Structure 1
């Protein structure tokens, strides 16, 4: 029986799981396809995803209108090869063997579409670089 290649697992975390982490997860899901497992969560999840974020992603052909913010769990962190935090501070549990990155990005909360677009574009750029990095390593 042939070995199946390891599919890296990535968890994106921000406070509300309503903006940055949702965008990052959506881009990695679209670009990475079945080469990677993707999750997102928040240390204090909002009730809904930021409408400007939904609209900004719709502009580039990604529909996250059915997504809901999810709570960060230790199990999700432990099950991930890479955890990318975006302003959640010390709320993220740390486990040995997990790679942690912190992406300093403006918070789109309360911002209009014009302010969200540059954040969206920077997240897409970083997600593409991350995917190249983690799939080359596996």
Structure 2
């Protein structure tokens, strides 16, 4: 699956030689939050490859890693409104084909963003700090 995504990213970005995308394979190691969810792992790989192609930092957690972490928290107990807001936001940002069912009316999502958006921002920032992968550096 990783090889397929690398090939697709190389095609999308016109990489002909053995460039940054071709060399990104080692960055695609499973991280605990996404390892047991194939669609999340694929979204994780795609996001990392897009970061590599754009020359962006690959160490911060991907949306898939953040979503997996929030989801794992939901197993412990009901999500609070800020966590639910963050989960809805992250679900909406998953690439096409990797989306998961979200039976929530757009108006509800907008209301959550309006009321709990700043708390969700802080939660995302905190999770990013916790889930950043210092080892995940191209090259």
- TM-score under structure 2 normalisation? 0.29
* Normalised TM-score (structure 1): 0.29
Pick the structure with greater CA Rg.
2
Greater helix share, 1 or 2? 2
Q: Larger % of strand: which? A: 1
